[in-house]
Structure 1
Amino acid sequence: MKLLLLSNSTAPGHAYLEHAREAIARHLHGVEELLFVPYALADHDGYTAKVAAFMADLGIGVRGVHTGDPCELAAGAQAVFVGGGNSFRLLRALHTTGLLGTLRERVRAGVPYMGSSAGTNMACPTLRTTNDMPIVQPPSFEALDLVPFQINPHYLDPAPESSHMGETREERLEQFLEENAVPVLGLREGTWLVREDERLELSGVAAGARLLRRGAAPVEHGPGTDLSELLATQARFDVGPDAA
């Protein structure tokens, strides 16, 4: 498989996707037309136009999956980009259109997949480590399962000076681990994952990522780290806190 999984699509001081421009250009090298999945936002046409404006500078055309039969378009796509927004709305659309199965099959067959934020959530086995509000209810939390571990995009470190009294992001993810025996990689802003077959590498800014596992202390990883071992994960969901 060939995956590019971005934590975010817009970084401070940069235009849309510009912070990852070189990585995107490498990932989509040789692609003439990209199929864009805009379902995470309500304005499908406007969202597609925004992606098309960026991709035009790379010499890549863009077609929105909503402009025809979604599964037929996905079946013939050279590459796919699933954009960010609300991940519950996005996953519901992938289920109801039948795209979930079609995209999974195509990407596993070698079609390059790019996701940002909610689109990166979709590459996981399930939706369970999203940050989003459930504004709609998908038929299930089952996602594309392109990697065997969970990702938390936009990972935020605790802010000691904040007056917020709710759980930190890490505490919320530790609660996930109490119920599910599967690693979670917290991708900070400006970071992304690159998968080439059985190699997985962390890239992006120096902030890097934080890996959380059940029963172990969190581990920090910087850009350039080989995370291929995560591809051998045997994920277990809903196993409860007493499982080994």
Structure 2
Amino acid sequence: MRAFLLSNSTCSGNTYLNHAKDDLARFLDGIDELFFVPFALADVDGYTAVAARFFAGIGISVTGAHRVSTGLLSQAPAIFTGGGNTFRLVKALHETGRMEAIQQAVADGASYLGASAGTNIAAPTLSTTNDMPIVEPPSFSTLGLVPFQINPHYLDPVPGDTHMGETREERIVQYLEENETPVLGLREGTWLRCEDGRYFLEGMERGARLFRRGAEPAEFSAPAELTSVLTRG
């Protein structure tokens, strides 16, 4: 299984995916076509055009997954799922049969890329998304490409902030009160590269935070290999 899981697609002061451009080009070396999954936003054609402009710059053509059959999608050499609302994305994938098509493609060797919502769905469920449930998917189950949950856009508490709502850490702890699956909080500007059963944290040094039920969060700076901690039973 090969996956490139970005916390976010756009960093402050940068253009779409540009903060990871060189790494994406290396990851996709030898691939000249990918299918883009745009269902997390309402304007699927406009969203596909945004992705197509970026990938054209590294020599890769893009076809919108909404424009092809599930059979063709399941044979894709590479698939990129963009960010937006995770509930809307998961609802569309389940209702169109594309969740299974993506799983089949990856099982057959396709490279999977995700950003934000597209990264969240690489986990077993959408339960650690940050999004509002603007629609109701038939299931919270997602791709299950990795055996842990992911929280993209992970935010640390701001010292002195008077906001009284729950912090991201508190929400993840609440998830772990009801579930045992660990959660990797990916800070913006970071990504997880998954290849041959190994997991590499890359991107900005501030890295990620790993939450386990009944344990203190573990802090990791990029670059780092996280295989042993993410595959521990």
How would you bin the TM-score normalised by the shorter chain?
over 0.9
- Does residue 15 in structure 1 map to residue 30 in structure 2? no
Post-superposition offset of 1:161: 2.2
Q: Which has the higher strand share?
A: 2
Tell whether the 8 Å contact from 1:3 to 1:113 is kept in structure 2 after alignment.
yes
**Greater CA deviation, 100-109 or 28-37?**
100-109
Match of 1:140 in 2: 139
Aligned residues: 233
SS in 2 for 1:120: helix
Q: Secondary structure of 1:154's match?
A: strand
Cα offset, 1:36, TM superposition: 0.3
Of 143-152 and 108-117, more deviation after overlay is shown by 108-117
- 1:34-183 to structure 2, matched below 5 A, reads 34-69=34-69, 71-183=70-182
Q: In structure 2, do the counterparts of structure 1 residues 126 and 230 end up closer, same or farther at CA, with 3 Å as the change threshold?
A: farther
Displacement after TM superposition at 1:75 (Å): 2.1
1:161-206 deviation per Cα after TM superposition (whole angstroms, max 9, x unaligned): 2221011000000000111011101000000000001110100101
Task: Indicate if the aligned counterparts of 1:148 and 1:230 stay in contact, CA closer than 8 A.
Answer: no
The answer (yes or no) to whether the contact 2:211–2:217 under 8 Å persists in 1 is yes
Q: Which runs of 5+ in 2 are unaligned?
A: none
**2:220 maps to what in 1?**
221
CA contact (8 A) 2:205 2:223 kept: no
Match of 2:204 in 1: 205
Give the whole-Å Cα distance in 2 for the aligned partners of 1:207 and 1:21.
Answer: 19
Q: One-letter code of the match for 1:225? A: A
Report how far residue 233 of structure 1 moved: 5.0
Give the unaligned 5+ runs of structure 1.
Answer: 235-244
Tell me whether 72-81 or 46-55 shows the greater mean CA deviation: 72-81
Aligned counterparts of 1:64 and 1:17: Cα–Cα separation in 2: 17
Deviation track 1:70-128 (CA, whole Å, cap 9, x = no partner) reads x1231231100000000000000110110111211211222100000000011000000
Counterpart code for 1:223: A
TM-score (norm 2): 0.97
Letter aligned with residue 218 of structure 2: V
Q: Which stretches of structure 1, 4 residues or longer, exceed 2 Å deviation after superposition?
A: 229-234
The CA distance in 2 between the partners of 1:37 and 1:213, in whole Å, is: 31
User: Separation in 1 of the partners of 2:30 and 2:116?
Assistant: 24
